[in-house]
Amino acid sequence: MSIEVKLDEELDVKGLVCPRPMVMTMTALKKLEKGGTLKVTANDSSVKHSIPALCERAGYTLLEQSEEGGSYSFIIRK
Amino acid sequence: MEDFDFGVRGWWKAWNKKFFREKWPLWLAGIFMAISGIIAYGVAVWSLARTVAGQNPYDQAKPLGTFLGLKELGGIINNGLSYIGLPHYPFSGYTWPDGVTINFFRQYPNPLLEPTAGTMLGILYGGLIAALLAKEFALKVPLDKSEYGLAVSGGIMMGIGAVFMFGCPLVSTTNVGAMGVQSLLMVIGMTIGSYFGAKLIIWFEKRRVASLACAADGAGYRPLMLFEKTRTIWPVLPEHADGGEVAGIRYQPHLALVLTILAVAVLFSFSSIGYPALSLSFAAAALTGFAMQRGGMCFAHAFREPFLSGFADMSRAMALVYILLILGFLPMKLIGSMNPDLAYAEIFAISPAGIGVLLGSMLFGIGMALNGACVSDSLWRTAEGQVKIWVGLVTLICVSAWIFPMREEHWFKTIFAPYGSENIRDVYLPNVLGYPGAVTLMVGFIAAWALLMTWFSGRTFRKYMEG
């Protein structure tokens, strides 16, 4: 079930392969204001592990995580 | 009855989701990888015993590794290049440990009988089955040309590095388990190389993000990437999804089932015509590929991420694999040490050592950081349909196969791998330190490596959060 979230930034890294989706997500989150939201869309399976792990470690909130046809999307609040 | 059906169905659904759909914890995937590695080593010892007993000499399994099969392919590539008048590697032949020199191209009646060729196919196959069961297979073609640049440059570096380091990272797990000096140099070299690879990626991405920031603008939210980056060739998703799965996704587990039945039938047939060891070896490699895909086990990640994103969970999982293999190979090595007929089982997967191993593994480390995957990672990710990874893998295979014959040359052995080239037992640690000393050194070394990677990851992540 998807939730309504006002997005501040969107990062589409479909087509990029590990480690670049993770590096670009970290760079985008670093630039984001505290409390801001970022939507990340990727199609490299490495993000299934790495983005939730990043959120847990850095204290970001993973608001939504979904998967369809080999494509993964995440909404993260900094 | 209905309750019973519901119960069984419910149990199956839950189990199917846990085992085939969700990612496995890294420790679990690591244990499965180690088990398959130990099985492969056991099958190799068994096949040696069968050969000693006069069974099919071509049914010789080897411990898990994905690299030696390249020498057969190298023969094909160099032959092809010589026919069309392009530069090719001139070489005289391949020398078996018993001193018999044979034609490099004719080591096996068929290149696919080379044990590690079957291992490569097995990992690819296991990864494909795992990806299909999880409905994760999709042919993805990056449109971003820089991805191909990274794949080709990484592939070339890995191709050259692999020849000099006598293997790939998956071979390093077997070699660490086998307790050779070369394996220590491999781990050190790949760690140093990955450090520099990570720095290169950071430099590259900083430039890239800075150039994109100039182009990004808009109201509400800003897309940071403004160009089309990928095309999924298959399965094609409808523009307006109605909540149902397209056939290309829905039937992936069914395809996995058909492929599994086919593989079992082929392996039984192959086994019945005199190749049980190679059949079992393929099955062990398939289990490795399956576990690697399910857990997302990636050597490039394990060596690079402590310096790049500040995560060392994969490094610790790989350390678990290394240590389990050291302990798991031990009983079979002891059998080899006590039985003169099986003496070769003691020194399976031991390679010569020297400066070439260190330099080659450093180059390999940089290459795998840039490419995003090593040989075995590439195999299971190829099975997920990542076309960029195919480009890197094909580049790696062609480059290393092309120059592989140089490893048999006297000058190569003298300069780059002098230790153990004459007598491989010189670089076999139990031969130098005894078994208790060698096991203690190897386990201690891997534990220290895991701690070092954890320390580096903390340092990198702290810098990220503070920066």
B412-425 pLDDT, tens digit per residue, is 999 999 999 888 99
Q: Are B179 and B428 in contact (CB under 8 A)?
A: yes
Percent of chain B with pLDDT over 90: 42
A39-72 residue pLDDT tens:
998 888 888 888 999 999 999 999 999 887 678 8
- Please state at what angle helix B387-403 crosses helix B70-83, rounded to 10 degrees: 80
- Please provide the DSSP assignment of B366-433 as one string: HHHHHHS--HHHHHHHHTTTBHHHHHHHHHHHHHHHHHGGGGGSHHHHHHH--BTSS-GGGGBHHHHH
- Mean pLDDT across B233-241: 53
* Catalytic residue list contains A55: no
Per-residue model confidence (pLDDT) at position B121: 85
Which residues 199-218 on chain B approach chain A with CB closer than 8 angstroms? 201-202, 205-206, 209
Distance from CA of A26 to the nearest CA of B (A): 8
Q: Provide the whole-model pTM.
A: 0.86
pLDDT bracket for residue B214 (50, 70, 90)? very low
Nearest by CB to residue A49, choosing from B23, B143, B205, is B23
Nearest by CB to residue A19, choosing from B201, B229, B296, is B201
Per-residue model confidence (pLDDT) at position B384: 74
Q: Are A70 and B134 in contact (CB under 8 A)?
A: no
Using CA atoms in the order B195, B198, B199, B203, what is the torsion angle rounded to 10 degrees?
Answer: 170
Asked if A42 reaches chain B (Cβ–Cβ under 8 Å), the answer is: no
Asked if A18 reaches chain B (Cβ–Cβ under 8 Å), the answer is: yes
Q: Residue B229's closest chain A neighbor by CA? A: A15
* Residue B450 predicted with pLDDT over 90: yes
In chain A, DSSP finds a helix count (H) and a strand count (E) of 2, 4
Per-residue model confidence (pLDDT) at position B239: 52
Asked if A5 reaches chain B (Cβ–Cβ under 8 Å), the answer is: no
B394-404 residue pLDDT tens:
888 888 877 88
* Residue B150 to residue B203: CA distance in whole angstroms: 13
Q: Looking at beta carbons, which pairs linking A59-62 to residues 24 or more positions away fall under 8 Å?
A: A60/A29
Q: Residue B218's closest chain A neighbor by CA? A: A9
Chain A residues near residue B137 by CB distance under 8 angstroms: 70
Q: Which of B224, B304, B316 to mutate to test the interface with A (most CBs of A within 10 A)?
A: B224
Place of tokens 């052995």: B413
Question: Which residue would you say has higher pLDDT here, A76 or A30?
Answer: A76
- Mean pLDDT across B425-436: 94
> Are residues A19 and B308, on separate chains, in Cβ contact within 8 Å?
yes
- Between B55-69, B120-134, B200-214, B257-271, the lowest mean confidence (pLDDT) is in B200-214
Q: How many Cα atoms are found within 13 Å in the side-chain-facing hemisphere of B334?
A: 11
Tell me the average pLDDT of chain A.
Answer: 85
Helix (H) or strand (E) holding B71: helix B70-83
Angle at B338 between CA B332 and CA B340, to 5 degrees: 105
